[in-house]
Structure 1
Amino acid sequence: MGSLYQDPMASVPMIIMDETIGLRLVPDEISLSDPVMLRHVLCSSIVVHNLFHVILCCRQLRKCHRVQEPPRQMRNVMSPAAFQAAKNDEMHAVERQLMGYVFDAIFSCMELYFGVFHILWDRTMALYGNVGEIVWRNLAYMALFATYMVFRTLPLVFYEKLTLDNRYNVDPEKAPPLVGVICALAFVIVFLQVLLIPLTAIFLYIEIYGGYYFVFWIWGFLFAVSMLALIFFSLFGLPCLGSSSRLPEGSLRNQLLVVLEDYNFPSNRVTLMHTFHIANATAFVWGYGCCKRLVILDNLIHNRAMPVAELLPEEINMGLSDIQVAAFVAHQLSHWRYYHLLKGFILVHVSLIIYMALFGTCYHVHALYEAAGFPHNYYPIIVGYWLVYKYVMPPYLTIANWIIFYYIRHSEYTADNDAWRRGYGPALREALLKLFADHHVFPFDDHWYLMWYRTRPSCLQRIRNLQRLDLGTRLSRIELI
């Protein structure tokens, strides 16, 4: 048994004392401070968390199996063939998600019980144990850790390519083959090394000099970046998406001027963004005071406001009519009128700062590292980020995501209701239906699955809500959740 600290200039690698809990199953005491007991609790938490999401995925798959035709509201814009294709895509994605949770639970438990992360640390020390600088050892460990995490995805890749693609008739010309995916993963390994080396160095610096709750410095950095992004977008729009221009004279401008006057929004702060290829046709509203800005992507407008001769074949007749664009913009301005973006920004950062406080507390619990198979007080600093994120924080993230997703979905209904009260309900309903016709997706969602996997209500739910407003009724409280 060798000494823990040796001459870093020695030619032989360091020998680490093997004081791990190994494969012990019986804890010394029934307490979370006991690493064996903590390991059982963490693995149970991962299994329960993943089982919960497996159940949600099963509910969505059952929903897919039960419906055999498009909803009544969408039968004129969605053929049976298009419905079946959307259904296959949805079932493929959900079953892949389901199996991802299954494989993740298996690997997560194996990693704790068999000390996989400690084995990677041992290999790192065998190669770099004679390097005296702890930062370099952590960098080397992260390079090996990132490679392992890529290999961790291989079972799901094989399952998708050998089983799912055949079951759901995936077009081979639209999906990369198995060999292509494996080659791409090799590139990902190289890319991760280039990306993680500077990030690891930054995180180590923050931890060393940031104090006990160093994670608050990370939150402060994220808060500052997001604030700067909002200010930049409010002042300059979205130059990263393409070139912008003033809205030209014509019917669309006249329709929008009525909407802008209705919402008391300045017409000189409206720009048309000529995008590169972007699937999501939408408009954005930012800012308050003198920084108001409305950006309309050109693929929201019929034929991208361009001559037909300049369009690609798949772009012809896509987009909304002038009246529908005005109704869609009214919906977006309702978000702005109710401060939904600001409220969502605050909600996300409140959730994030609570997350950071819990993260920083758990990060310093030595029993967590011992539960992962490391000797007492001897482990790579950087591994704590993964251990806390993967094994401790999932219950909090499950609750926080539900709250945030609920708020976003509720804000969509609020904006729809406000636009309806102002007289844009019929045109908004037609706009939603046209956007659905342009980009077919599976229209049905299991209610429980939607609560954790959809940030917005489905197009079908929004159309039904607008129809009920026309009839003088409302969606039930359960449907609004």
Structure 2
Amino acid sequence: MSANFWNDPDHLLHIIITILIVDNLWSLYLLLREIRMVYRVVEVPEVISPYLPQELFERMRKYKLHKSWFTVVNTLVFVITIGVIELYFGFYGWLWNLATKCAVAPWMEHETVVSILFILFLSTYMTIKALPGHLYETYCIPSVQTKYYPPLGKRILKEVIEIILWLMVMIVLVLAIVYSFIAFGNYALLGMYLLSIVFTIILILIVPFLIDPCIGHRVPLEESALRTEMERLTEAVGFPIEQVHIIQVNDPNTGSNAFFYGCCCLKRIVIFDTLLLNRGQRNTSDLLPHEVGKGLRDNQVIAVVSHELGHWMHGHFYRAIILFKIHILLTFLLFALCFSHGPIYQAMGFEPGVQPIIVGFVVMFGFVLTPYTTLANFVLLTNTRHFEYQADSFAYELGYDRDLREALLKLYADNLTYPITDPCYSCWNHTHPTILDRLERLESLERGERFS
């Protein structure tokens, strides 16, 4: 019975449609919980009220509700309804046939060329399908944050360059995937996993040298009370002060941020200049109007750095990589179980025996593996929030709990991050605990409570 069920394309199609509907309805349920929470809280929480005026909080609240209800409608119409229609009528099989018919020359009939055409057609269709929602979100939902855009000519040039680069990356990726499976079959998955490990190592080696030019340019931490306190802190925990970098970001819309990255001699703490009060400048005349007054005082910056040092001391970078590699391994194992199963392709509208490699990737990662990836994402998010709590505890142990609380409050207000969220929604969507949760945890530490 189960074997017949597993080999029946009609049953598999119903399962895939059910996965699509249930996964998105679960996301909508969580979002509706979030919307209910936003409706219930109409006044700014007392703890953050000195940093966030009621008028600004109300604007943030209206923006949150507007965007959330837009997401509900967009998910119901474009993701669920149109998605079910696509699956039921074999859209992906039809699109592959269209790509095949467009292969007019003999050399274009090779699977790699047809795969590239298929991905180009699919990407174009997805862009058109998402365009109404994108336009509404961009022009009909007024942003709370004041954003400054480059001239129209530069924006168009940037879009064109991004499209060209994306096309180049996609073509190379499709060629690599298709040729790998043609040459090695299912062993290609093992090669891809090993290649991902090598790629991760390469990233660890080269990304520290790419951070500065991609984000901005490094500026020296001048002799000041901030540098003196920074030297004292890093010396106390054994972290080299030379690996604390101040980056003057290029994009004025970049939020206040700091992060730890790397390992061994390549480890570093990166601090955006937007984290510093008035971007670390004494003369505020060169700043944009919305930048004046933003940022943290020196003692608050030190508290944030102590939090980042907590990530280093607890080995969060290594642990996150190991956990992610386990996730990738499990994903590839599940992928290998389903990838060569013909009835899945027939359920998607393909003729028996037609199992395009690139379509297998789209279908498996887009639909079949969704239950696993959703649960795995929950586990990964839970882990990252645990890391944040551990880093906060480290800052507390160094005596920076009060300054860290003030820094968190100021950062949330500067970045216009909405402070209210439903706990269940947060568990499934947020990489960081909410500000109220982090403040409560710090207060609990002061009361002598400990958490596993």
1:47 is the counterpart of 2:24: no
* 1:188-267 pair list within 5 angstroms: 195-234=169-208, 238-267=212-241
CA distance in 1, matches of 2:197, 2:359: 24
Which of the numbers 409, 416, 426 marks the counterpart of 1:450?
426
* 1:322-341 pair list within 5 angstroms: 322-341=298-317
1:109 is the counterpart of 2:89: no
CA distance in 2, matches of 1:457, 1:241: 25
CA distance in 1, matches of 2:123, 2:17: 22
Equivalent residue, structure 1, for 2:293 = 317
Equivalent residue, structure 1, for 2:246 = 272
1:361 is the counterpart of 2:337: yes
CA distance in 1, matches of 2:135, 2:147: 17
Which of the numbers 141, 148, 154 marks the counterpart of 2:118?
141
Equivalent residue, structure 2, for 1:347 = 323
Contact 1:237 1:293 in 2 (8 A): no
Which of the numbers 436, 447, 452 marks the counterpart of 1:471?
447
Contact 1:28 1:34 in 2 (8 A): no
> Mean Cα displacement is larger for which, 298-307 or 366-375?
298-307
Equivalent residue, structure 2, for 1:436 = 412
CA distance in 1, matches of 2:26, 2:385: 22
Equivalent residue, structure 1, for 2:437 = 461
CA distance in 1, matches of 2:192, 2:49: 49
Equivalent residue, structure 2, for 1:17 = none
CA distance in 2, matches of 1:378, 1:279: 47
Note the C-alpha offset of 1:224.
Answer: 2.5
CA distance in 1, matches of 2:3, 2:183: 35
> Mean Cα displacement is larger for which, 60-69 or 114-123?
114-123
Deviation readout 1:229-258 (Å, 9 max, x if unpaired): 222345676332222243211100111122
Distance 1:344 1:93, change over 3 A: farther
1:402 is the counterpart of 2:378: yes
CA distance in 2, matches of 1:33, 1:158: 42
Secondary structure in 1 matching 2:432: coil
1:35 is the counterpart of 2:12: no
Secondary structure in 2 matching 1:284: strand
AA partner of residue 142 (structure 1)? I
CA distance in 2, matches of 1:289, 1:46: 43
Contact 1:125 1:137 in 2 (8 A): yes
CA distance in 1, matches of 2:179, 2:28: 38
Secondary structure in 1 matching 2:412: helix
CA distance in 2, matches of 1:130, 1:313: 59
CA distance in 2, matches of 1:259, 1:201: 50
- The TM-score, its normalising length taken from structure 2, stands at 0.88
1:305 is the counterpart of 2:299: no
Note the C-alpha offset of 1:468.
Answer: 2.8
Distance 1:58 1:175, change over 3 A: farther
CA distance in 2, matches of 1:125, 1:294: 50
Secondary structure in 2 matching 1:265: coil
The number of residue pairs the alignment matches comes to 439
Equivalent residue, structure 2, for 1:97 = 71
Distance 1:130 1:300, change over 3 A: closer
CA distance in 1, matches of 2:256, 2:126: 35
Contact 1:318 1:438 in 2 (8 A): yes
CA distance in 1, matches of 2:2, 2:443: 63
Note the C-alpha offset of 1:444.
Answer: 0.7
Ranges in structure 1 where 5+ consecutive residues have no aligned partner: 1-26, 177-182
Contact 1:47 1:105 in 2 (8 A): yes
> Mean Cα displacement is larger for which, 274-283 or 454-463?
274-283
Secondary structure in 2 matching 1:442: coil
CA distance in 1, matches of 2:111, 2:211: 44
Equivalent residue, structure 1, for 2:152 = none
CA distance in 1, matches of 2:3, 2:259: 56
1:151 is the counterpart of 2:128: yes
Secondary structure in 2 matching 1:382: helix
Distance 1:320 1:198, change over 3 A: same
Q: Look at both structures and tell me which one has the larger radius of gyration over its CA atoms.
A: 1
Note the C-alpha offset of 1:195.
Answer: 4.7
1:118 is the counterpart of 2:93: yes
AA partner of residue 129 (structure 2)? R
Equivalent residue, structure 1, for 2:390 = 414
> Mean Cα displacement is larger for which, 146-155 or 366-375?
146-155
1:295 is the counterpart of 2:295: no
AA partner of residue 293 (structure 1)? R
Distance 1:268 1:112, change over 3 A: closer
Deviation readout 1:296-353 (Å, 9 max, x if unpaired): 2211111122222322222112111111111110010011000011111111111012
- The TM-score, its normalising length taken from structure 1, stands at 0.83
Give the structure with the larger helix fraction: 2
> Mean Cα displacement is larger for which, 67-76 or 272-281?
272-281
Which of the numbers 51, 56, 77 marks the counterpart of 2:30?
56
Identity %: 29
Note the C-alpha offset of 1:217.
Answer: 2.8
